Homo-oligomer: A and B are copies of this chain.
C-alpha cells in the first residue's frame, strides 16, 4: 500500500473563535492510499495545535507510518491501526487519516457504504448541531443565528467574560431551538456550577467540557452539582479515558482527530455504553472527507456535532451532508466521498 498526501487550506465562512482563541490556520491533510491492485482509499487529518499537531507534523508522521502500510495487508485494518502507535505515538489526526483511508479502501472493494460494512442503519443517525462561535458584537451574533435558521440544534461556544450576555442573546434570537453549550475547558469548577444553573434556566440540553482537560475532579465536582448532563471532550481522547471518566461525567465526545482512528472510535463508543454514558461525536474544521468518516458512526451516537464542513466558505469534497441538521450519508461505496467539481 502506497501513501500520498496533500495539504489543503480551508477558509471558514466566518472567523471561528472558541474559548482558547481563534484559529486562522484551518489546513487539513488529505491522504490517498493505493494498494498493489490499484484500489484506493482516502482519509483526512484535521490537525489541532491543542492536541499537538500541525499539517507539518502530520506530514512528518505519515512518512513514518508509510512503511507499516507498505508491509501490512490493507484488509487487516485492526492490525495496521494497532501497529501505527508502536512506530510513533501520539499524532492521532495523522493516524485517523490512514484509518479512514483503509476503511474507505475495504468498503469500496466490497462495493458497500462503510455504514453497511458496520451493520448500521443510517436512518438512526441523530441530528447534528451547528456551532455558533464566540462573537462580541450583538448584531453579528444575531446575524450568525439567523444564518443558521435551518438548524434546529445550535451548539453555543462559551468561555468568555460575556457568557451570560451571549446566552441571553442566543435564547432571545432562537427561542424554540435546542441549545447545547461548549465551554472548551474555560471555567473554574465553581464558575461552571453557577453557569450550569443559568444554562438550565435557558433550557440548555447539556454542557461540554466545563473545566480544564486535566481536571477530572473538577468534572466530578461540576457533575455532582449540575442538573445538566456534563460531557467530557478535551478530557477524553481515547477509550482508556472513557473508562477513567466513568462516574465523573454523564457522557463523552469523541473525535477522530483525538482518538486516532475509526476502530478506536468504535471502542470508545462500546466502552461508554458499557458504563451507561452518553455518546457524542464532534469534529474539527475539516472538509466533507473528514466529516463523512465520522458521520458513518452516527447511527451509534446520542448526539452529533458534525458541522465542520458546513462552517466552510467552500468545501472541496462532496460527502455526508447536514442540511437542516439531518445527517445524510452518501450511498456510494466506502466513505462515499468524491472531489467536488471546481467551478
Contact = CB atoms under 8 A, between A and B. Distances in A.
A274 B270 CA distance: 10
17 contacts: A76-B121, A77-B119, A79-B120, A79-B299, A106-B119, A110-B110, A110-B111, A239-B270, A240-B274, A240-B275, A240-B276, A243-B243, A243-B246, A243-B271, A266-B270, A267-B274, A268-B274
Given A119-B106, A267-B273, A124 B79 contact: yes
Interface residues of A, number: 36
Contacts of A118: 78
In order of increasing CB-CB distance, the 9 nearest A-B pairs are A77-B119, A270-B270, A267-B270, A76-B121, A239-B274, A271-B274, A243-B274, A79-B121, A110-B110
B78 A119 contact: yes
Interface string A90-117: 0000000000001100100011100011
A126 to B, nearest CB: 14
Interface of A: 73, 75-79, 102-103, 106, 110-112, 116-121, 124, 239-240, 242-243, 246, 263, 266-268, 270-271, 273-276, 299-300
